[in-house]
Amino acid sequence: MKNMDMFFRVLAATFGTYFLASAITTFILVLLEINPNIQEIVEAFKIEFLIGIAVILWVFYTKNIIKTLIYIVVWTFVSFALSFYLLKGGVL
């Protein structure tokens, strides 16, 4: 059972970090502007890197990995949905 727990932690750290950080970065870039300049993109990627580190630390620190995976998936979908709504929904 301990091997499966570590497998899910590595899976969440790898894919969860990538998708959640990308979703939040996309949301930040949509909030900044439709066509951000290069400095805003660099700042968003710095934020993405910090979010990725925080998610990796959170995944290996938590005791309940299933609940953490659910949070990562929900936050990813919410961030992408808000980005899509703001970009395609006519708000921006």
Write the DSSP string, 46-60.
HHHHHHHHHHHHHHH
- Token pair 């949905």 in the structure block, residue: 81
Q: Is the dihedral of CA 23, 29, 33, 38 positive or negative?
A: negative
Tens-level pLDDT at each residue, the chain (92 residues): 578 888 888 888 888 888 888 888 888 888 876 666 777 777 778 888 888 898 889 988 988 888 988 999 999 999 888 888 887 765 55
3-state secondary structure of 30: helix
CB 63 within 8 A of CB 5: no
| Per-residue pLDDT at 1 | 58
